[in-house]
Structure 1
Amino acid sequence: MIKPVRHIAAMSPYALANLNAPKGKRLISLSQNESLLPPSPLAVRAATDAVANAQLYPDPEWRELRDALAKRHRIPSDGILCGNGSMELIACLTQAFADPKSAVLAPAHAYPFFRTAAQLAQARFDTAQEDNARVSVDALIAAVQPDTRVVFIANPGNPTGTRISRTELLRLRDGLRRGILLVIDEAYGEFADHLGEPMFDLVGRGDTVVLRSFSKAYGLAGMRVGWGLFPEQIAEVVRKVMNPNNISVAGQAAACAALKDHTYMQATCQTTARRRDRFIDRLRDTGFNVAESFTNFALIHFASAVAAARANAALRAEGVFLRAQGGAGLPTCLRVTIGPEEEMNIAVSHLERWVREEKT
Structure 2
Amino acid sequence: MDVLVIVVVVVVTALVFDFTNGFHDTANAMATSIATGALRPKAAVTIAGLLNLAGAFLSVEVAKTISGGIVAEALITPVVIFAGLVGAILWNLLTWLLGLPSSSSHALFGGLIGATLMAAGPNAVNGTAVLGKVVLPAVVSPLLAGLVAVTATFVAYRITARADAGTAHRGFRIGQVVSASTVALAHGTNDAQKTMGVITLTLITAGALAPGSAPPFWVVASAGLAIALGTYVGGWRIIRTLGRRISDIQTTQGFTAETTSATVILASSHLGLPISTTQVCTGAIFGAGAGRRLATVHWSVAGRMALAWAVTLPAAAVVGAAASWTAASGPFGVVVVAVGGLALAAGMYAASRRNPVNALNVNDVPTLPPVPAATRSGQEAA
**TM-score, normalised relative to structure 1:** 0.30
Higher percent of residues as strand: 1
Higher percent of residues as helix: 2
